[in-house]
Structure 1
């Protein structure tokens, strides 16, 4: 039986709009190249499809520059989906735009009503538990509201702390298989992955931490040869994606899709 945290029948992504050049970023390192970003996004979607999954690509939302980072709008679990409540005010409207696509796929659709905030980038579902990192975008009240749903659905939720200066919990970690986490040494030092096998990013390649296991492929950003070699040596089917432009907007592999089974 495949694990619902690593194997999926469907994914939802969103085409980057021209307004993406105005997206949020913790540090301004220049504007992304729109044409190159769209080409990389096409390669990302094609890689997901190559695993046999159905991938829905939603239209761009020019009024929401960060809308290509669909993962922050929802958490998809086997029992249903939970619509998030982003911690960035400019992104709040993205949730309503995502809702119709998920309502067409899930009978049980829940909402984080607030006043707390929580974003999908802070949530790592491993199959055995739901790990949620408190961050600048996810607060204790938002986590508590999500816990009420996961408790009802029979999933254990464990609240952990995202290191200061790290945007999202999954900025620094990824699930490679049900027993194995890819993590920066900084995040793993907190002890949050006790009970898992942890692979550390090579020094200087910490920015490769956000990867995704999608069926039998591991999508990771290109440009980190030591990390790619390490994962290949571990037996993973590594697929490299040009993430230069998404990285300028603090985005990565997991941010660009919602992954689900329906």
Structure 2
């Protein structure tokens, strides 16, 4: 029996564009270097392909600087896909650009019509439920509309809260397997993962929480050695991928793909 929350046959990615220098950022920690980002992105795509999954690589979108972060545009579930409604106005057009691709891959594609907002970076799918973190980009109305859609497909949604100053719920957590979550201590302290086994990122390595489990691999941002070692010791096959440039735009491992 496969686990639809981390065993995937397909992923969709989008190449970074030269417009990336104009991407959104919570604080300015430097301008991303396109060549470095492309190199890291190629490593990321190659790692996904190494699992045997098909990776659909979409072309760069110059007019949308943040379009490399495809995860925010949709939620992909076994039963269908839901097109999101981003909380950042400059990102609304990315959803329309992604929709034709998902319509080719899914029979059932629904849309968050609004007035609420919701982004994929705030959604963590586990075997038992869909956790959605309210954040600066995801509001109560967006969560309620998604809850209604996924209940049609037999999914239970639970609303939780992203810590202040953290862009997305998944900035601070990721799924490692059926019952295990990697999280920062600050997010776990909110009690949102009760009933799960939680592994904490090392002190000072909170940014490592945005990792992804994709088939046999856990893709982790490079530069967080103690967290990577902890995961290896826990029995996970870790692949470290440079995230230095995406991090300048508040992006991470989960943001760079839609997985289903």
TM-score range, shorter chain: over 0.9
Task: Give CA-to-partner distance per residue, 1:46-102, whole Å, 9 cap, x none.
Answer: 000000000011000000000000000000001000000000000000000000110
Residue in 1 that maps onto 2:220: 220
Q: Distance in 1 between matches of 2:204 and 2:162?
A: 20
Q: Distance in 1 between matches of 2:242 and 2:28?
A: 19
Residue in 2 that maps onto 1:162: 162
Task: Give CA-to-partner distance per residue, 1:94-136, whole Å, 9 cap, x none.
Answer: 0000001100000000000000000000000012100000000
Where structure 2 has 5 or more consecutive residues not aligned to the other structure, the ranges are: none
Q: Distance in 2 between matches of 1:78 and 1:56?
A: 17
Aligned to 1:19, the other structure's residue is in SS state helix
Task: Give CA-to-partner distance per residue, 1:169-202, whole Å, 9 cap, x none.
Answer: 0000000001000000000000000010000111
Q: Distance in 2 between matches of 1:128 and 1:217?
A: 22
**Does 1:72 find its partner at 2:72?**
yes
Q: Distance in 1 between matches of 2:227 and 2:98?
A: 33
Residue in 1 that maps onto 2:49: 49
**Does 1:245 find its partner at 2:245?**
yes
Aligned to 1:104, the other structure's residue is in SS state helix
Q: Distance in 1 between matches of 2:77 and 2:219?
A: 20
Residue in 1 that maps onto 2:89: 89
Q: 1:47-196 to 2 correspondence within 5 Å? A: 47-196=47-196
The count of aligned residue pairs is: 260
Q: Distance in 2 between matches of 1:2 and 1:252?
A: 26
Aligned to 1:93, the other structure's residue is in SS state helix
**Does 1:229 find its partner at 2:218?**
no
Q: Distance in 1 between matches of 2:248 and 2:64?
A: 17
Q: Which runs of 4+ in 1 moved over 6 A?
A: none
Q: CA deviation at 1:244?
A: 0.3
Q: Distance in 2 between matches of 1:128 and 1:17?
A: 37
Aligned to 2:107, the other structure's residue is in SS state coil
Where structure 1 has 5 or more consecutive residues not aligned to the other structure, the ranges are: none
Residue in 2 that maps onto 1:11: 11
Q: Distance in 2 between matches of 1:167 and 1:2?
A: 31
Q: CA deviation at 1:37?
A: 0.3
Question: Could you tell me the TM-score, scaled by structure 1's length?
Answer: 0.99
Q: Distance in 1 between matches of 2:2 and 2:128?
A: 13
After superposition, the CA RMSD in angstroms is 0.4
Task: Give CA-to-partner distance per residue, 1:145-185, whole Å, 9 cap, x none.
Answer: 00001111100100000000000000000000010000000
Q: CA deviation at 1:2?
A: 1.2
Q: Distance in 1 between matches of 2:149 and 2:190?
A: 26
